[in-house]
Amino acid sequence: MIVAEIKPFGEIKDILKGYNKVLIVGCGTCVTVCMSGGERQVELLASALRIARKIEGNEITVGERTILRQCDPEFIDQIKDEAAQYDAILSMACGAGVQGITERLGSISVLPAMNTTFIGVSDGQGTWVEVCTACGDCILYKTGGICPVARCAKGLINGPCGGSQSGLCEVSKDNPCVWQQIYARLVKLNLLHSLKGMSQPKTWPVHPRRLVREDLRLKKEPTKGV
Amino acid sequence: MGFREALDSGKFLITAEIGPVKGTEIDGLLEDAELIKGKVDAINVTDLQSSVMRLGSMAVCHLLKDRVIDPILQMTCRDRNRLALQSDLLSAWVLGIRNVLALTGDHPTLGDHPQAMPVFDLDSVSLLRVIGRLNEGFDMQGNQLKGAPDFFPGAVVNPGADTEAAFEMQIIKMEKKIEAGARFFQTQGIFDLDLFERFIKRIEGFKIPVLGGVILLKSAGMARFMNKNVAGVFVPESLIKEMEETKDKVKTSIEIAARLIKGLKNLCEGVHIMAIGWEKRIPMVLEEAGL
Q: Which residues of B touch A196 (CB under 8 A)?
A: 172, 175-176
Beta bridge mates, B43: B16, B71
The model's pTM: 0.93
Q: Average pLDDT, stretch A76-103? A: 97
The string of pLDDT tens digits covering residues A95-151 is 999 999 999 998 899 999 999 999 999 999 999 999 999 999 999 999 999 999 999
Q: What percent of chain A has pLDDT over 90?
A: 90
pLDDT value for A106:
81
Q: Which residues of A touch B107 (CB under 8 A)?
A: 153-154, 163, 170-171
Q: Which residues of B touch A161 (CB under 8 A)?
A: 104-105, 124
Domain, as residue range, for B197: 3-288
Collapsing DSSP states into helix, strand and coil, what is residue B242? helix
Checking if the pLDDT of B241 tops 70, the result is: yes
Instruction: Provide the ipTM.
Output: 0.94
For A2-117, which CATH superfamily applies?
Answer: Response regulator (3.40.50.2300)
Residue B53, amino acid: M
Among B104, B157, B274, pick the best mutation site for testing chain A contact (most A Cβ within 10 A).
Answer: B104
pLDDT value for A223:
59
pLDDT-derived band at B24 (thresholds 50, 70, 90) equals very high
What phi and psi, each to the nearest 5 degrees, are found at residue B20? -55, 155
Find the CATH number of the domain harbouring B37: 3.20.20.220
Q: Do B165 and A167 touch (CB under 8 A)?
A: yes
pLDDT-derived band at B41 (thresholds 50, 70, 90) equals very high
CB A161 within 8 A of CB A154: yes
pLDDT value for A220:
59
pLDDT value for A91:
98
Write down the mean pLDDT value for chain B: 97
The shortest CB-CB distance from A165 to any of B78, B109, B162 is to B162
Q: Which residues of B touch A167 (CB under 8 A)?
A: 163, 165-166
pLDDT-derived band at A224 (thresholds 50, 70, 90) equals low
Domain ranges of chain A: 2-117, 136-195
pLDDT value for A222:
61
How distant is the Cα of A192 from the closest Cα of chain B, in angstroms? Answer: 10
Q: Average pLDDT, stretch B72-92? A: 98
Q: What percent of chain A has pLDDT over 70?
A: 96
Q: Determine which helix (DSSP H) or strand (DSSP E) holds B15, and give its type and residue range.
A: strand B13-18
> Residue B112: how many CA atoms within 13 Å on its side-chain side?
6
Total domains present in chain B: 1
What phi and psi, each to the nearest 5 degrees, are found at residue A41? -70, -35
pLDDT value for B1:
87
Beta bridge mates, A4: A116
Residues near B158 by beta carbon (within 8 Å), at least 6 away in sequence: A162, B166, B170, B187, B188, B231, B232
Q: Average pLDDT, stretch B164-177? A: 96
pLDDT value for A218:
79
Beta bridge mates, B211: B186, B270
Burial class (CB in 10 A: 0-12, 13-18, 19+), A107: exposed
Residue A132, amino acid: C
CA A17-A22-A28 angle, 5° bins: 125
pLDDT-derived band at B214 (thresholds 50, 70, 90) equals very high
How far is the C-alpha of B141 from the C-alpha of B121, rounded, in Å? Answer: 15
Checking if the pLDDT of A219 tops 80, the result is: no
Checking if the pLDDT of A225 tops 60, the result is: no
Q: Which residues of A touch B109 (CB under 8 A)?
A: 153, 171
Collapsing DSSP states into helix, strand and coil, what is residue B264? helix
What phi and psi, each to the nearest 5 degrees, are found at residue B202? -65, -35
The string of pLDDT tens digits covering residues A16-50 is 999 999 999 999 999 999 999 999 999 999 999 99
Strand A109-112 to A114-124 pairing:
unpaired
Q: Average pLDDT, stretch B232-236? A: 93
Among B77, B172, B178, B226, pick the best mutation site for testing chain A contact (most A Cβ within 10 A).
Answer: B172
pLDDT value for A57:
97
Checking if the pLDDT of A226 tops 50, the result is: no
Checking if the pLDDT of A73 tops 50, the result is: yes
Write down the mean pLDDT value for chain A: 94
SS3 helix, strand, coil % of chain A, rounded to 5?
30, 20, 45
